[in-house]
Amino acid sequence: MISKISNRDKNAFADFYRAMERPLYGFIFLKLNDSHQTSDLLHDVFIEVWKGAHRFEGRSSVKTWVFGIAYRKVIDVYRRGGRVETMAELPEIEDESPTAEQALAASEQATHVRACVEDLKPDHRVVIELAFFEDFSYRQISEVIGSPEGTVKTRVYHAKKLLLRCVSARLQTGVI
Amino acid sequence: MENKDIEALLPFYINGTLGEIESAQVQKAVAQSAALRSEVEALRLIKTNMQANAPKNAAAELGLARLMRDIEADALPTPANDTARAPFRISPLFGGAMAAMVALAFYAGTAISPDKLEYIQASGEDYTAVLTVRFQPEVTQQAAAATLLEHGLEVVGGPSARGFYRLLPLEDCDMDSLAEILRAESLVFEFVETPQ
């Protein structure tokens, strides 16, 4: 499909849009939380695909290539906006992993999960979202964000801990 | 493999992207640890919850239509042809177009640089209770200005790179009802959205 797009096949481009629009929109929206800004950025991503399809060398999958474009554009928005990272590193407290019952109850409440994901700092959040929304492998995530696989694993480890701890804490304190 | 390594792989164990060897290692560790089993269960449920609440693009087809217009007109976002995407077009066949444009800009509280056809927002205020709209590509300046006047609307922002404008009602009104009225003006507006 990408080779067709590089040959200016508009039907192939439309098919590509229909295949990739939903996951890309979700990926971008979860980071910007603004539907208009997301639509604009999504447009820019697809324009870059249209203009740059001939440069795709097949060293990664098409999906990770396109997500990589989207990720870099989101980072540009963060930089321009001076976005502040909202959650620090793991606090130095004794680890108290949530019980399955706590997590089960919490996971049934979308509000808690959504709030806790939003509280993760961007580089933690992106690895969890790519793993859980898009079912990316750690190798694919590494390609998307341009970081070594070991870094991805470390971020996933911390993000997962923070997420579970946050959900558990919100459940215990009754925060809605 | 250390316990920390196993824990780092749990999300990928859950989404089924681990290779055979790593998957077997994680599976073995999970089978031997109640804490890991508990964590796997919790993460599975969180994953399910996240996917069930994935955001959706309500304007997906509009986005495709605009993309196709851009590429078909070869109107990729360069400074030289960016104005091709603006909804108000200047045509030599359209007498008084510039006058109407200036009139609209005056009415809207914006200033226009005619040589560049750029809208420069006169006010730095950040309006939040505004409608977001996009005009039909073929709508004329007069038609747009007349519609804004008719409905008591003022342009307070835009256009964005994709041609979105922000409109502020001059008087208090029910925004949802107003949006419905504007949507009915389908020859003028391509897209109308109420504040989120």
pLDDT digits (tens, 9 = 90+) for A85-131: 444 444 434 445 555 555 555 445 677 888 888 888 888 999 999 99
Tokens, residue A175: 């925060």
How many angstroms separate the CA of residue B192 from the nearest CA in chain A? Answer: 12
Query: What distance, in Å, lies between the first and last C-alpha atoms of chain A?
Result: 45
What CA–CA distance (Å, rounded) separates A66 from A130?
13
Residue A80 at interface with chain B, using a CB cutoff of 8 Å:
no
Higher pLDDT, A49 or B186: A49
Closest among B125, B127, B126, B100 to B114, alpha carbons compared: B100
Single-letter code of the amino acid located at B157: G
Q: How many CB atoms lie within 10 A of CB A126?
A: 25
Residue of chain A whose alpha carbon sits nearest to that of B11:
A131
Is this model's pTM higher than 0.80 or not?
no
Q: Looking at residue B71, what is its pLDDT? A: 80
Q: DSSP 3-state helix, strand, coil percentages of chain B (rounded to 5)?
A: 45, 15, 40
How many angstroms separate the CA of residue A68 from the nearest CA in chain B? Answer: 19
CB contact under 8 A, A108 and B47: no
Interface of A with B in 123-162 (CB under 8 A): 128-129, 131-133, 135-138, 140, 153-154, 156-157, 160
Q: Which residue has the tokens 């606090």?
A: A91
Q: Looking at residue B106, what is its pLDDT? A: 39
Q: What are the chain A neighbours of B42 within 8 Å (beta carbons)?
A: 98, 100, 102-104, 106-107, 164, 167
What CA–CA distance (Å, rounded) separates B156 from B136?
19
* ipTM summary value: 0.76
Q: What are the chain A neighbours of B46 within 8 Å (beta carbons)?
A: 103, 107, 113, 132, 163-164, 167
Q: Say what percent of chain B tops pLDDT 90.
A: 16
Q: Which residues in B84-138 belong to E strands, given as ranges? A: 110-113, 118-121, 131-135
* Residue B167 DSSP label: E
Higher pLDDT, B128 or A55: A55
CB contact under 8 A, A104 and B51: no
CB contact under 8 A, A40 and B160: yes
What CA–CA distance (Å, rounded) separates A74 from B100?
38
Torsion of CA A6, A12, A15, A19, to 10 degrees: -30
pLDDT of B103 strictly over 80: no
- Smallest Cβ–Cβ distance between B50 and the set A18, A40, A132 belongs to A132
Q: What are the chain A neighbours of B66 within 8 Å (beta carbons)?
A: 43
Q: What are the chain B neighbours of A29 within 8 Å (beta carbons)?
A: 55, 57
Q: How many CB atoms lie within 10 A of CB B80?
A: 6
Largest CA distance in chain A: 58
Closest among B61, B80, B67, B62 to B135, alpha carbons compared: B62
Q: Which of A113, A161, A171 to mutate to test the interface with B (most CBs of B within 10 A)?
A: A113
Least confident of A108-122, A156-170, B134-148: B134-148
Strand partners, B192: B133
For domain B127-196, give the CATH number.
3.30.70
**CB proximity list for A106: less than 8 A, separation 6 or greater:** A98, A112, A113, A167, A168, A170, A171, B42
DSSP for B8-45? HHHHHHHTT-S-HHHHHHHHHHHHH-HHHHHHHHHHHH
What CA–CA distance (Å, rounded) separates A34 from A8?
31
Q: What are the chain A neighbours of B52 within 8 Å (beta carbons)?
A: 110
Q: What is the mean pLDDT of chain A?
A: 81
Under the phi-then-psi rule, with left for phi > 0, alpha for psi from -120 to 50, and beta for the rest, what region is A135? left
Please give the backbone phi and psi of residue B194, each rounded to the nearest 5 degrees, phi first. -85, 165
Higher pLDDT, B30 or B175: B30
What is the rounded average pLDDT of the residues B154-162? Answer: 71
CATH 3.30.70, chain B: domain bounds: 127-196
Q: What are the chain B neighbours of A98 within 8 Å (beta carbons)?
A: 38, 42
Residue of chain A whose alpha carbon sits nearest to that of B60:
A21
CB contact under 8 A, A43 and B162: yes
**pLDDT band at residue B116, thresholds of 50, 70 and 90?**
very low
